Amino acid sequence: MRLGEVRFALVHHGACPYTGANTRFHYRIRSSGETETRASESERVGRAHCIEIVLEGDFSEQRPGDAQLEGLRAVLLALKQRCPRIAIGGHRQVRGEQTTCPGRRFPLRELLAWSRSGLLAERDAALEADVERQYRPPH
């Protein structure tokens, strides 16, 4: 899967019914916010055109902590920089898959709102900083 073919970043929780021993993900976000890279983005590990991200924990009854959400946002922001057209979604939004994943208490609506506004602003700020680092206008 070339980066240009990536369309979605799909968020799961640890209690995802599809999280079996053979299920693979690209990224795993621990409760501490620490991120493990489990597969290269060029590799298809689940659905076509998807970067699969799993958050450690079960969010059926409790909300993920701030550190973990921050870790997730950092991964999504980096992805957005590499794949500007990427859309972010929760597993349960995938048509035909009967699941509550990433859990009823996962703040999906909040994350989607952020991805539509804050993420773009953060991406632009990051790009601007990048450009400024590489380009110094003559005096």
Please state, in angstroms and rounded to a whole number, the distance separating the CA atoms of residues 139 and 131: 17
Please state, in angstroms and rounded to a whole number, the distance separating the CA atoms of residues 115 and 45: 23
Minimum CB–partner distance for residue 127 and Zn ion (Å): 31
Query: Binding pattern to Zn ion, positions 96-125, x when CB under 5 A?
Result: -----x------------------------
Judged by CB under 5 A, the number of residues near Zn ion is 4
Give the residue, chosen from 26, 73, 80, 91, that forms a contact with Zn ion under the rule CB under 5 A.
Answer: 91
Give the residue, chosen from 6, 16, 55, 79, that forms a contact with Zn ion under the rule CB under 5 A.
Answer: 16
83's tokens: 């794949």
86's tokens: 């990427």
Residue 28 within binding range of Zn ion, rule CB under 5 A: no
Please state, in angstroms and rounded to a whole number, the distance separating the CA atoms of residues 11 and 112: 11
Asked whether 90 and 101 are in contact (CB, 8 A), the reply is yes
Per CB under 5 A, residues contacting Zn ion are 12, 16, 91, 101
